[in-house]
A and B are shown apart, each in its own frame.
Chain A
Amino acid sequence: MAQFATSRSRALRRRETAVSYLFLLPALAIFSCFVVTPMVMGLVTSFTDSHMGGSKFVGLDNYIRLFQDPKFLRSAWNTVFIVLISVPVVTAFSLWVGSAIYRMKAGIRSFFRCVFYLPVVTGSVAVVVVWKWMFNTYNGLFNYVGTSTGLMTKGIDWLGDSRFAIWCILIILFTTSIGQPIVLYVAALGNVDQTLIEAAQVDGTSDLQTFWKIKWPSIMPTTLYVVVITTINSFQCFALIQLLTSGGPNYHTSTVMYLLYETAFKNFQYGYADAMGVVLALVIALFSALQFKVMNGGTTE
């Protein structure tokens, strides 16, 4: 990382600032208008008991109520569980796939990249429909294959059994999550400075060492991005759950996002739902800050 010489005059920094904000302007303008403003509105609502009939300021009541609500606590636990499992698995797996395919011939590489991206391409509804069919208790693919090959004596209620349901969600989440990281890793690995690699090979370092000492640091910005994004996506896993299990059985697959949706759109308690959203946002922000610290992706001032 370049270090700005200490002899830089403040005038230059001011000029930099002017230009910087000019460059930032388009993104910042749209961001402020369409993201920050609704965000603030949502935050304000979380301090009220807003529901369909009206709204009244209640201060921190919603937040206090949250931490005594068994549904919320259960959903929070599920959410953390999903994140803790999916993030390392997705990151590691996509890194592995990326490193395996980035050196392949362009055609094959494109093929694999495309294939792993397919679940993202086909959209949630269709993907869920297919998986739901596969997990079906009576005539789903898994039970069909399982019983006809003798692996199982009778079909399992994959989505209805509280032991398995969340693993089903995790599997589907996994398939939809690795597409983007793989694409990114292939690009990033391809961008690693070839001269450094060649130099290391001339020195006789093994493949594994080359990987850890040279490639890994080079792709650290990508890894940071992948980890943060996968964390955020896993925390906000929602459409999948809504379409597949409606949070069941008995809130065993309910995440905070899903509970938020249920509270807002089925029970019409907007204030309470927004409070959930704020808590979730804070947790995610905390996680992300931690990840930045640990990985130190070069965001120093």
Chain B
Amino acid sequence: MKQKKSPYLATCTVVLIILAILFIFPLYWIVTGSVKDKTDILIKAGQAVQWFPLSPTGTNYDKLMNTTIAWPLFGAAFRVPAAVKWLFNSVFISVMAMLLTCVTASLAGYTLAKKQFYGKGFIFALFVCAMALPKQVILIPLVSLAKILGLSESAWSVIFPVVGWPFGVFLMKQFSETIPSSLLEAARIDGASELRTFWDVAVPIIKPGIGALAIFTFISAWNEYPLQLVMLHKTEVKTIALGIAGLQAEMSTDYGLIMAGAALGAVPIIIIFLLFQKYFTQGITMGAVKG
């Protein structure tokens, strides 16, 4: 099939591998750091770097699991380590944001890409301009807004702003551009309703885009620290990032704790990432109709 230019490909692979090592290193450091005693993480004067944890200890994770809170579920209150509840909160926020965004953004992106309607230019410009505005500016107004809507201290106060953020719409619009209009025409001629056209024709084509969006939204909701910070204060609604930060005493950066929290927090994200990778499958056939 393709003529492989061997030297080029070989150098590519070597460079990629070197870069891969550099990129994996932080995660490696975080995971090994989470099982080190917090003072061993730093390089102490006159001592060699501990590339590999010499005496792995579970103290950091213990500290993490130390605080327990009550979790009222199905009427009964279970006592769970706070870290578990925080992890659940993060997962809940991210998953809900992901699902809602995929639905709303794909509908909106498809519409902006493929449909003609009055006010289209204005709406799109509005979306793009909103992306340009720094989040810090709307942080405080959002707090007032959340209070008015009764969403304070609730996961939804973080979910809705994330869903509302127009990046998803923009991404879906770009992906939807690749849908051949001829296919849509064909479906219309066949008498399919708009929704049916969307679901049967458009969605399969933009599936990789939806997959990408799902992951991006999950991660951006997960990492949305400023928003979580100002909306969620009570222990039981905190996310894992907030929870870890709260375990720091003044002016004392407990690296071991941070590493443990980061390692714990990275696990769900990696799982989701691996799960959704299959939706990036390339080679989706574009259909028989050629334009």
A and B together in one complex: yes
Q: Is the beta-carbon distance between B171 and A225 smaller than 8 angstroms?
A: yes
Q: Which of A39, A140, A238 has the most CB of B within 10 A?
A: A39
Whether a CB of chain A sits under 8 angstroms from the CB of B116 is: yes
Instruction: Give the residue of B110, B132, B266, B277 whose beta carbon is less than 8 angstroms from that of A123.
Output: B266
**By the criterion CB–CB under 8 Å, are B16 and A126 in contact?**
no
Asked if A34 is an interface residue, CB under 8 A from chain B, the answer is yes
Known A139-B45, A221-B177: A260·B23 in contact at CB below 8 Å: no
Flag B226-251 by CB within 8 Å of A: 1 or 0 each: 10000000000000010011000000
- Taking A221-B174, A260-B137 as known contacts, 4 extra A-B pairs with beta carbons closer than 8 A to each other, sorted by chain A number, are A38-B137, A119-B23, A239-B226, A281-B137
* CA distance in complex: A175, B266 (Å): 17
Closest B residue, CB atoms, query A102: B282
Q: Give 1 or 0 for each of A216-257: 1 = CB within 8 Å of chain B CB.
A: 001001101100110010011011000000000000000011
Contacting pair A180 B136 (CB below 8 A): no
Pairwise interchain contact B208-A119, C-beta atoms closer than 8 A? no
For the complex, would chain A's binding face be called helix, strand, loop or mixed by DSSP majority?
helix
Find residues 265-291 in chain B having any chain A CB closer than 8 Å to their own CB: 265-266, 269-270, 273-274, 277, 280-284, 286, 291
**B residues 180-208 touching A (CB-CB < 8 Å):** 180-182, 185, 194, 198, 208
Chain B neighbourhood of A281, CB < 8 A: 129, 132-134, 137
Is A123 a contact of B291 with CB atoms below 8 Å? Answer: no
Provide the residues of chain B in CB contact with A2, threshold 8 Å.
Answer: 180-182, 185, 291
A144 at the interface (CB under 8 A from B): yes
In the assembly, what is the distance between CA of A13 and CA of B198, in Å?
Answer: 18
Interface flags, A178-220, vs B, CB<8A=1, else 0:
0010011011011101100000010000010000000000100
Kindly supply a per-residue 1/0 record for chain A positions 10-32, scoring 1 wherever the CB is within 8 Å of any chain B CB and 0 otherwise: 00010011011101101110110
Q: Tell me the bound Cα distance from A187 to B132 in angstroms.
A: 26
**Assembly CA distance A113 to B215 (angstroms):** 13
- Residue B111 at the A interface, CB < 8 A? yes
A/B interface sample: 23 pairs, CB < 8 A: A2-B180, A17-B118, A24-B111, A31-B169, A36-B130, A38-B142, A45-B141, A101-B16, A103-B2, A110-B274, A114-B273, A130-B26, A139-B45, A180-B216, A183-B280, A191-B286, A221-B175, A225-B170, A260-B134, A285-B132, A297-B174, A298-B177, A299-B124
Q: Which of A20, A28, A207, A225 meets B174, CB within 8 Å? A: A225
Question: When each residue 146-166 of chain A gets 1 if its CB lies under 8 Å from chain B and 0 otherwise, what string results?
Answer: 000000000000000000000
Q: Does A62 contact B (CB under 8 A)?
A: no
Chain A 241-278 near chain B by CB (<8 Å), digits 1 or 0: 00000000000000011001100100000100110011
Cβ contacts under 8 Å, B222 to chain A: 123
B57: CB under 8 A from chain A? no
By the criterion CB–CB under 8 Å, are B178 and A191 in contact?
A: yes
- Check if B137 sits within 8 Å of A34, measured CB to CB: no
B138 contacts A207, CB within 8 Å?
no
The answer to whether A41 and B138 have CB atoms under 8 Å apart is yes
Q: B225 in the interface, Cβ–Cβ < 8 Å?
A: yes
List of B residues within 8 angstroms of A114 by Cβ: 270, 273-274, 277
Asked if B282 and A189 sit within 8 Å, CB to CB, the answer is yes
B38, chain A: closest CB distance, angstroms: 12
Residues from chain A with a CB closer than 8 A to the CB of B273 are 114, 117, 121
Contacts of A138 in B (CB 8 A): 45
- A27–B74 alpha-carbon span in the complex (Å): 32
Q: B177 to chain A: which residues have CB within 8 Å?
A: 1, 221, 297-298
Cβ B181 vs Cβ A1 within 8 A: yes
Q: Are B265 and A123 touching (Cβ within 8 A)? A: yes
Q: Is the CB of A270 within 8 A of B140?
A: yes
Contact between chains at A190 and B27 (CB < 8 Å): no
A194 touching B262 in the complex, CB below 8 Å, given contacts A31-B127, A39-B133: no
Q: Are B120 and A184 in contact (CB under 8 A)?
A: no
Which residues of chain B in 100-137 are interfacial with respect to chain A, using CB atoms and an 8 Å cutoff? 100, 103-105, 107-108, 110-112, 115-121, 123-124, 126-137
Asked whether, in the complex, the Cβ of A144 is within 8 Å of the Cβ of B138, the reply is: no
Which among A27, A257, A284 is the interface contact of B136 at CB below 8 angstroms?
A257
